[in-house]
């Protein structure tokens, strides 16, 4: 039973990580298109997005818990919610490192933001490949799964960016 719970927690964390990655691709692409953006403004937007996603997930999880259990989540349930949602906060790390490299003069801000988007797309590709390998489909299947995941993530991010989200 413990192994099944651990597997479910890992799956839930990965789902949050992938969702946050796609969202962060949208954010950094949108920021890169801005004309008058500073490193401080970009960093504030990335942090605000990450914290906002995390808080939204906690509110949704708490609401779902109240509806299904009739009480506020606390103790073990609250710790599980915090553990599962923590990748939403980690999604800011890569973009913030790229923004910091821009602030240090290593690259322009637009380049840093597009690099962050590229790294996140590569992350989606890597997770897709790993999933394909875990399914036992072999290298070609894993690469195809990676390409599909990266393409879907990129398409979602581009649509969200184009729509102004």
Q: How far apart are CA 49 and CA 20, in angstroms?
A: 9
Whether residue 158 is predicted with pLDDT greater than 90 in this model: the reply is no
Q: Please state the separation of Cα 24 from the chain's center in Å.
A: 6
Q: And the tokens for 111? A: 């380049």
**Do 131 and 143 touch, CB atoms closer than 8 A?**
no
DSSP letter for 91, please: T
Cα 89 to Cα 16, 69, 106, 128, 148: the distances in Å are: 10, 27, 25, 21, 25
Q: What is the pLDDT of residue 154?
A: 85
Residue bearing the bigger pLDDT, 163 or 88: 88
Q: Which among 99, 84, 75 is positioned nearest to 24, based on CA atoms? A: 99
Q: Which among 150, 34, 27, 164 is positioned nearest to 95, based on CA atoms? A: 27
* pLDDT cut 90: percent of the chain above it: 52
Per-residue pLDDT tens digits for 106-123: 999 999 999 999 999 999
Cα 47 to Cα 36, 40, 88, 91, 95: the distances in Å are: 19, 10, 10, 9, 9
Q: What is the pLDDT of residue 8?
A: 86
Give the CB-side neighbour count of residue 3, counting CA atoms within 13 A.
Answer: 0
Q: Please state the separation of Cα 77 from the chain's center in Å.
A: 23
Whether residue 45 is predicted with pLDDT greater than 80 in this model: the reply is yes
């Amino acid at each position: 039973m413990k192994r099944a719970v651990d597997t479910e927690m890992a799956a839930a964390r990965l789902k949050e990580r992938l969702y946050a990655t796609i969202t962060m691709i949208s954010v950094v692409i949108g920021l890169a298109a801005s004309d008058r953006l500073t490193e401080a403004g970009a960093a504030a937007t990335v942090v605000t997005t990450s914290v906002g996603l995390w808080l939204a997930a906690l509110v949704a999880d708490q609401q779902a818990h109240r509806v299904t259990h009739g009480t506020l989540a606390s103790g073990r349930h609250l710790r599980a919610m915090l553990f599962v949602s923590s990748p939403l906060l980690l999604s800011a790390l890569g973009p913030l490192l790229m923004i910091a490299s821009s602030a240090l003069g290593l690259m322009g801000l637009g380049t840093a933001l597009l690099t962050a988007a590229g790294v996140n797309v590569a992350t989606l590709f890597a997770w897709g490949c790993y999933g394909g390998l875990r399914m036992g489909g072999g290298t070609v299947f894993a690469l195809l799964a990676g390409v599909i995941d990266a393409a879907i993530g990129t398409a979602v991010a581009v649509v969200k960016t184009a729509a102004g989200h």
